[in-house]
Amino acid sequence: MPVLEDLQSKQTELIRKITSASMFVGPPGAPLPVTLTTGGVRAVQTITITGSPTAGTFTLTFNGQPTAPIAYNATATVVQAALVALSNIEPGDVVCTGGPLPATAVVATFGGQYSTVATMGVTHSLTGGTPGITVTATTPGTAIDLTPLPAGAGYVDLGLVTKDDGYSFGNEWETSEVTSHGIADPTRRDVLSATSTVGITAQETKRQTLEMFHAVDLSGVVPAASGEIAFSKPLAPVTRYYRTFLLGRDGIGDSAVYMGIIYPRSMVSETGEQTGSEESELAYPLTLTATPDSAVGYSVRFLFGGPGWRAQLTKMGF
| Mean per-residue pLDDT over the chain, rounded | 92
Identify the pLDDT of residue 9.
Answer: 61
Its pTM stands at 0.82
Query: Alpha-carbon torsion 69, 73, 79, 85, what sign?
Result: negative
pLDDT digits (tens, 9 = 90+) for 270-311: 999 999 888 889 999 999 999 999 999 999 999 999 988 988
Identify the pLDDT of residue 158.
Answer: 95
Return the percentage of the chain with pLDDT > 90, whole number.
Answer: 77
Burial category of 290 from C-beta neighbours within 10 Å (exposed 0-12, middle 13-18, buried 19 and up) = buried
The DSSP secondary-structure symbol of 66 reads E
Question: For the domain bounded by 4-36+147-316, which CATH number is listed?
Answer: 2.30.110
Q: Taking a C-beta distance cutoff of 8 angstroms, is the pair 135, 296 a contact?
A: no
Identify the pLDDT of residue 7.
Answer: 55
Q: Taking a C-beta distance cutoff of 8 angstroms, is the pair 270, 288 a contact?
A: no
Q: Residue 1: pLDDT band by 50, 70, 90 thresholds?
A: low
